[in-house]
Chains A and B, each alone.
Chain A
Amino acid sequence: GNSVTQMEGPVTLSEEAFLTINCTYTATGYPSLFWYVQYPGEGLQLLLKATKADDKGSNKGFEATYRKETTSFHLEKGSVQVSDSAVYFCALGVTGANSKLTFGKGITLSVRP
């Protein structure tokens, strides 16, 4: 079956620090990969996505590259801000009749001023 593994958290960084959040996956077929962000008390927002190998998704300074050879989709940002404090979820989905998403456990990021 499909599964997503995220690095253990929480992560605490100072403002302007470099961020890496690791994500690896196991899937049958050819999944699309996603990063979702959840701010306190809110639902999930799509941060970025990649639909095939070697694609790079990017948004709001965040980037992630779909690496089929290492089955990874690590999230990076060069300079984090306090407003980036949230929970980040890596997910995979397989397009088709049942396009359900499989999520990792999520990781909490706290950015200090």
Chain B
Amino acid sequence: ETGVTQSPTHLIKTRGQQVTLRCSSQSGHNTVSWYQQALGQGPQFIFQYYREEENGRGNFPPRFSGLQFPNYSSELNVNALELDDSALYLCASSSRSGNEQFFGPGTRLTVL
């Protein structure tokens, strides 16, 4: 069974740029959630995707957007990057019926 994978591992961008982060869900899981973990903080929910539709969103501006593909993999896009967007971005997958989420290793984004 393949776990949740994320790419890239690390990324450095400059303010104002755009970034795309990728996530492959665990086999058998059709729901993907994205979280932002700032340094020294707990993860904050960004949004969740189920069957290619956004299914809930946290307190993040519209420049944070996402996609889910038919194979249940997902992308997180962030436009007009700001310094405060520097964080570890975590993807988690789950089955529709369960609430146990399995996390990937994360993508460390640094905005200069």
* A97–B56 touching, CB < 8 Å: yes
* B103–A44 touching, CB < 8 Å: yes
Chain B contacts of A93 at CB under 8 A? 99, 101
Interface string of A78-113 (1 = CB under 8 A from B): 000000000001010111011111111110000000
* B106–A98 touching, CB < 8 Å: no
Residue A61 CB within 8 A of the other chain = no
Q: In the complex, which residue of chain A has the Cβ closest to the Cβ of B6?
A: A43
Residue B73 CB within 8 A of the other chain = no
Residue B62 CB within 8 A of the other chain = no
From known contacts A43-B103, A44-B90, A95-B99, infer whether A103 and B42 are also in contact, taking CB-CB under 8 Å.
yes
Q: Could you tell me how many residues of chain A have their Cβ less than 8 Å away from some Cβ of chain B?
A: 25
From known contacts A89-B43, A105-B41, infer whether A100 and B58 are also in contact, taking CB-CB under 8 Å.
yes
Q: Could you tell me how many residues of chain B have their Cβ less than 8 Å away from some Cβ of chain A?
A: 26
Partner of A46 from B43, B44, B102 at Cβ < 8 Å: B102
Chain B contacts of A34 at CB under 8 A? 100
Q: In the complex, which residue of chain A has the Cβ closest to the Cβ of B41?
A: A105
Interface string of B79-112 (1 = CB under 8 A from A): 0000000000010101000111111111000000
Residue A32 CB within 8 A of the other chain = yes
* A99–B94 touching, CB < 8 Å: yes
* B105–A42 touching, CB < 8 Å: yes
Chain A contacts of B42 at CB under 8 A? 4, 89, 91, 103-106
Residue A45 CB within 8 A of the other chain = yes
